[in-house]
A and B are shown apart, each in its own frame.
Chain A
């Protein structure tokens, strides 16, 4: 019932009923203001589901931007994040470039394009990230719509998956021991096997 009310409220207000976004995501518009100098402060917060720990995750950024040409806006900013009860900490440096591709209000939709490069604090572990995508903005009556499909590419991850195929008995022990000796850091061990259930053994 609560979901229905939420949906009804969203439709009534002309808002999206759901969003696939994190606390540090935001809406970009395609327009570029030539010569504009901008101090940009963003903040978002999200409470995770109970099945995902139920903690509150918050993120913020402080940026400085400049409209270098009538069609190019560039901005650099630092990002901070806070997870659960831990302290707020520096997360990443980002450089964003936005390009206006059409004149404002000349066509049905204003079109732009953005490219963003993120250098995380833990860049040796997390790798660099690049995100890009088109920006659309158009009006329908009193409503203004923005569409920001974002394509993100994970540039680098040092994680390695090692698969040990089906050793039984003590072979499993020796294989895993040997693999563990050769790695610096283990993130997870996942064991999958074929088994018989004893339930029917006793029932029959």
Chain B
């Protein structure tokens, strides 16, 4: 899942950014899974602490990815790009920063509140490994491609 919006429950910011990774970067490495781009991600304090009613609010707002690190990374990214502390409870655009590339990608492990599974409750299996490796390969190739393009 490739997002370009992340809402962070730590800072309560909603980060907008230009994702350097696209579905075309990952799909060649996926035999069984599907790549979804243009997603919106939600960074929660703990995946275990959520409930269906609360998550349903976000789902109705178009958030389909629930994870635990994207928001804080983007808060730190904001402070790298801007010489100030990250704001709180704001819509923060990182779209115009061009100091460095920003790529955010998640592999789906399970669907909370369905089939009684929750994040970290199930082993990856082949399907999880495929998407995990697909994401890792896409990032590695992106890094090498960028560096090769830079050094000509």
Chain A residues within 8 Å of B, Cβ to Cβ: 51, 81, 91-92, 120, 122, 125-127, 154, 157, 159, 161, 167-177, 180, 186-204
Contact A196 B151 (CB under 8 A): no
CA distance A167 to B139 in the complex (A): 18
Contact of B73 among A81, A91, A173, A202 (CB under 8 A): A173
Known: A126-B152, A193-B68, A204-B114. 20 other contacts (CB 8 A): A51-B24, A120-B151, A125-B150, A126-B150, A154-B151, A169-B72, A172-B69, A172-B73, A175-B76, A188-B20, A192-B136, A192-B139, A194-B107, A194-B120, A195-B1, A195-B67, A197-B64, A198-B64, A200-B111, A204-B111
How far is it, in angstroms, between the C-alpha of A170 and the C-alpha of B152 when the chains are bound?
38
- A-side interface mostly: mixed
Q: Interface code B40-73, partner A: CB below 8 Å = 1, 0 otherwise?
A: 0110011100001001101110011111111011
Rounded to whole Å, the gap between the CB of B23 and the closest CB of chain A is 12
Most buried by B among A186, A191, A193, A196: A196
Which B residues touch A170, using CB under 8 A?
Answer: 10, 72
A139 vs B57: C-alpha distance in the bound complex, in angstroms? 72
B135 beta carbon closer than 8 Å to chain A = yes
Q: A187-B100, A191-B104, A192-B135 are in contact. Are A198 and B66 (CB under 8 A)?
A: yes
